[in-house]
């Protein structure tokens, strides 16, 4: 490919709308252009990267015995209503009607469609296990699409579904996909970590996310400092150590104290001169079923994902000021669990061990001291609802937890029989008994993987593509188009590299050398072959390695071999 013929509209300035590095660089380097909020056109270089990621995915899925299919993007509402997700999925679901008034949605995921398909085509245990996958556009009406391809309304995803006769079969396929995903992201040249995760709207039991480690990641990953332990979890799912915080102090008499203007934890601790771990924080939430008071220690934060899961609700929102006042009789900042009626009390495990604690009195400017949970209030539910942070002990081995930022690029789920039961998906077992399929679901964000690769591989000059997914491996740059000898040598190198199987472009534009070098760095070609008069006078050209910044003189007759050897070394770094 000649750069003069390539649709590559590079930009010198950072677009104002772009917040994260991948968004900035993919726009500046001419990989994509915005069509609407959260919707992008992928230009030629981006599409080459996407196709390479897809090919790696296909090879690893096929290696595990999966079969590729293509399902419809437009899905009938009846299937979603049958599974119960038409209402649960909420406003993120793109909904539409056909000319006859029938309801449809644009597929954000395909559990309903695939279950309906297999239900109609598979009727015997002899046809199981079955692994089916597709690579397709998905649609989610994000409230605030942002970060370019990281959180868009339209994106490319690989989703695979496994169908088994029992839990043991599901475990086998889950492990197969875990291994396949590990291979996919390693082959893409990414640094990543599988972590225990929350299943969210997909549902099911066990699930792991595959996180590409990057400072710009939206998710917090907690992992054990002891590498032998191997524990790692999304902060949403990180477990707490089960011990409660008890002291040897004897319970004192419950008292009410005046705390004028003290609404926050910091204000109360300063006014009463008590540590925040002696406070009881009470936060009022509204769900689709009821109002809930969530209770944690004052120095802790509520993990709303954990709370949502234990409440088994469809909607969980912080209560507004009016609701808080109607529930507690006081303004926001004075809620407490003592004598709080008409609301469900959900207490974190740590709270029950507190002695002589402090909490809101459900009256303005007043708090209670010497609160003893086992004496003064009775929670409806005691469970783990707090957010775990770095520095706390690992729940598996006790070593210190450390923290990193991560970008979710894939997730594997054990769905069990959630969808097969809801949609009547059964097969006949050895005894002729109708039995629901035991299912798994496995997704990879393809466009997100491309963006995550940029977030992990860049410098102040531009993108540094891992060689496995780079749009082209090599760019040949003649420093002057006016020198016919330079151009002839550059053309011969360009042709020789392509003929030897190396994906190569030549920058044949009538631009200054500096412009060509800047564009090559911005795009992120792994290797640049520079053809200049000084080197050429000695029968040499210059290899520039984008990642290392290394410059290597190479004799003309050795260019193809030297380039292929450098590319091989880059490829081996990932294995």
Please report whether residue 200 resides in a domain. Answer: yes
Please report whether residue 248 resides in a domain. Answer: no
Which pLDDT score, from 0 to 100, does residue 314 have? 80
Q: Which residues, given as ranges, of the chain have pLDDT below 70? A: 198-205, 242-248, 574-575
186 and 124 share one domain: yes
Please report whether residue 488 resides in a domain. Answer: yes
445 and 310 share one domain: no
314 and 285 share one domain: yes
95 and 228 share one domain: yes
419 and 480 share one domain: no
- Are 11 and 27 in contact by the 8 Å Cβ rule? The answer is yes
423 and 363 share one domain: no
Considering its fold, how many domains does the chain have in total?
3
350 and 281 share one domain: yes
Which pLDDT score, from 0 to 100, does residue 368 have? 97
The enclosing domain of 306 has a CATH number of 3.90.960.10
Which of 491, 505, 511 lies closest to 556, judged by CA?
491
225 and 259 share one domain: no
Please report whether residue 542 resides in a domain. Answer: yes
Please report whether residue 66 resides in a domain. Answer: yes
77 and 168 share one domain: yes
Which pLDDT score, from 0 to 100, does residue 437 have? 98
Which pLDDT score, from 0 to 100, does residue 391 have? 93
* Domain interval for residue 378: 255-383
Residue 288, number of CB atoms within 10 A of its CB: 12
351 and 202 share one domain: no
- End-of-domain residue from the set 392, 423, 455: 455
27 and 97 share one domain: yes
- Are 507 and 493 in contact by the 8 Å Cβ rule? The answer is no
The model's pLDDT over 360-412, given as tens digits with 9 standing for 90+, comes to 999 999 999 999 999 999 999 999 999 999 999 999 899 999 999 999 999 99
- Using a CB cutoff of 8 Å and minimum separation of 24, what contacts does 69-74 make? 69/132, 69/133, 69/134, 70/134, 70/136, 71/107, 71/110, 71/113, 71/114, 71/117, 71/134, 71/136, 72/107, 72/113, 73/106, 73/107, 73/136, 73/137, 73/139, 74/104, 74/105, 74/106, 74/107
- Are 449 and 457 in contact by the 8 Å Cβ rule? The answer is no
The enclosing domain of 427 has a CATH number of 3.30.930.10
Whole-angstrom distance, CA of residue 176 vs CA of residue 3: 42
165 and 55 share one domain: yes
């Amino acid at each position: 490919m000649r750069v003069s013929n390539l649709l590559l509209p590079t930009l010198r300035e950072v677009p104002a709308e772009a917040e994260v590095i991948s968004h900035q660089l993919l726009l500046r380097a001419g990989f994509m252009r915005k069509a609407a909020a959260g919707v992008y056109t992928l230009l030629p270089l981006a599409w080459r990267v996407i196709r390479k990621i897809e090919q790696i995915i296909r090879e690893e899925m096929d290696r595990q015995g999966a079969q590729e299919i293509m399902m419809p993007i437009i899905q009938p509402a009846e299937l979603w209503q049958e599974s119960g997700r038409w209402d649960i999925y909420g406003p993120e679901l793109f909904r539409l009607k056909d000319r006859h008034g029938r309801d449809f949605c644009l597929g954000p995921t395909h559990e309903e469609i695939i279950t309906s398909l297999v239900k109609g085509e598979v009727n015997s245990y002899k046809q199981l296990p079955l692994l089916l996958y597709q690579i397709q556009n998905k649609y989610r009406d994000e409230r605030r699409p942002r970060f370019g391809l990281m959180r868009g309304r339209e994106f490319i995803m690989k989703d695979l579904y496994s169908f088994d006769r029992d839990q043991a079969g599901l475990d086998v396929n889950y492990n197969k996909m875990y291994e396949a995903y590990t291979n996919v992201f390693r082959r893409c040249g990414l640094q990543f970590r599988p972590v225990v995760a929350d299943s969210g709207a997909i549902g099911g039991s066990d699930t792991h996310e595959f996180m590409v480690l990057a400072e710009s990641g939206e998710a917090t990953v907690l992992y054990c400092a002891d590498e032998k332990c191997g524990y790692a979890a999304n902060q949403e799912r990180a477990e707490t150590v089960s011990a409660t915080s008890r002291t040897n102090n004897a319970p004192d008499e419950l008292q009410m104290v005046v705390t004028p203007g003290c609404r926050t934890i910091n204000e109360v601790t300063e006014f009463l001169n008590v540590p925040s771990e002696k406070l009881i924080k009470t936060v009022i939430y509204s769900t689709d079923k009821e109002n809930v008071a969530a209770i944690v220690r004052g120095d802790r934060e509520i993990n709303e994902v954990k709370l949502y899961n234990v409440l088994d609700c469809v909607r969980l929102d912080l209560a507004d000021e009016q609701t808080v006042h109607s529930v507690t009789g006081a303004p926001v900042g004075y809620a407490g669990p003592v004598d709080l009626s008409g609301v469900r009390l959900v207490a974190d495990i740590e709270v029950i061990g507190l002695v002589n604690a402090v909490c809101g009195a459900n009256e303005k400017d007043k708090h209670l001291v010497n609160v003893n949970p086992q004496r003064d209030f009775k929670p409806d539910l005691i469970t783990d609802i707090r957010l775990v942070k770095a520095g706390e002990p690992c729940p598996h081995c006790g070593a210190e937890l450390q923290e990193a930022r991560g970008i979710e690029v894939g997730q594997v789920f054990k769905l069990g029989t959630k969808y097969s039961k809801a949609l009547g998906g059964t097969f006949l077992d050895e005894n002729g008994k109708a039995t629901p399929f035991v299912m798994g679901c496995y997704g990879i964000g393809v466009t997100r993987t491309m963006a995550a690769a940029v977030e992990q591989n860049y410098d102040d000059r531009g993108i540094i593509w891992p060689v496995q997914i780079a749009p082209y491996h090599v760019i040949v740059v003649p420093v002057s188009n006016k020198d016919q000898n330079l151009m002839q040598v550059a053309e011969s190198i360009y042709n020789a590299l392509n003929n030897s199987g190396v994906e190569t472009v030549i920058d044949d534009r009538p631009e200054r050398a500096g412009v060509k070098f800047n564009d090559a760095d911005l795009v992120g070609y792994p290797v640049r072959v520079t053809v200049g008069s000084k080197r050429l006078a000695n029968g040499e050209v210059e290899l520039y390695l984008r990642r290392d910044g290394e410059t290597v003189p190479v004799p003309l007759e050795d260019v193809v071999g030297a380039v292929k050897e450098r590319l091989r070394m880059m490829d081996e770094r990932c294995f």
